[in-house]
Amino acid sequence: MDALALVGPTGTGKTAVALELAARLGAEIVCGDSRQIFRGLDVATGKPSAAERDRCPHHLFDWLEVTEAPSAGLYARAAAPALRGIVQRGRVPLVVGGSGLYLRALVRGLAPVPEIAPEVRAAVRRELEERGPEILHAALAELDPELADRLAPRDRQRVARGLEVARATGRPLSAWLRDERAARPPDCGVEGWRFVGLTDDRRRLYERLDRRAERFFEQGLLGEVHAFLDAGVPPDAPGLRSLGYAQAVAHVLRRLPYAEAVERTQRETRRYAKRQWTWWRQEGPRVGLAWVDALDRESPGALARSVEELWRSRAATPAPGTGPGGAQGSPP
């Protein structure tokens, strides 16, 4: 059984298309989004609703508490048995999300990074608290420009991790993660992978993302953040550092005016979408990624039919260790 990965930038409609695809292919959906894995982050993540999840089995949504630290390796180890179970039931595994490193860890594995000395880690964390993530992001750009380009300047956890690895090992984290000779993918039980990406006109997508960010703040994001903080969740919990939530927390704590919180969310979301495009443009040829343009196919059903045609017509990229790579996809 082959697995299908539906990827692409945020806001391109992957959730709705995946539901249509699941019905057409007899699939079960596995989360491939680094924010939708958090329990309780519902308003601003594009997560499928409870009613939508009733339409077919879903896996790894609401998997972590907002206080738990995620990682690509942890995700891959959790997703692999979910995929094996889907295959054993004779269903199609459909992994949906735009978190490129998570998908790479699942499909190709990640090279192990050496243990970081506690004193190096502590020094970076102190610097993070004293100077702030933007200053550390600038330092990371000097040591690991590839990783810094993929990270938002306020992504405290990942910026600190990249900096501590580069300082402790003398080698960028991006180089460690790229070392496929040492990578060991988890056993997912699939024969091969087929990657399809949803894309759209960039200007039109950015306008849609701006409107969506406004709706998040209007339709419950602040209430969701208030509930977490009232329950004693630290404002810098890993889940609350997610896009949109970090800005909402800053507003709730009176560190950021409402209009600026919305504007920052819009700006950072556009930047995130751009980074996702860049990732999949670079990663696409390695996994045989084919793109479906949403511009001329407005409905999720029509997009799902296009994805299904690619699913049935293109040769799969074999699972690691089973043979040569598949056909190359074309960038958006």
- What one-character-per-residue DSSP string does 156-225 give? HHHHHHHHHHHHHHSS-HHHHHH-GGG--------SEEEEEEEE--HHHHHHHHHHHHHHHHHTTHHHHH
Measured between alpha carbons, how far is residue 168 from residues 70, 89, 101, 117, 207 in Å? Answer: 22, 45, 22, 7, 42
Band (158; pLDDT cuts 50, 70, 90): confident
pLDDT tens-place string over residues 160-173: 999 999 999 999 99
Residue 29 CA to residue 92 CA, distance in Å, equals 9
Residue type, position 316, single letter: A
Q: What is the mean pLDDT of the chain?
A: 90
pTM: 0.83
Q: Which residue has the tokens 């690691």?
A: 320
Q: Which domains does the chain have, with CATH numbers?
A: 2-110+183-318 (3.40.50.300), 118-178 (1.10.20.140)
Q: What is the pLDDT of residue 296?
A: 58
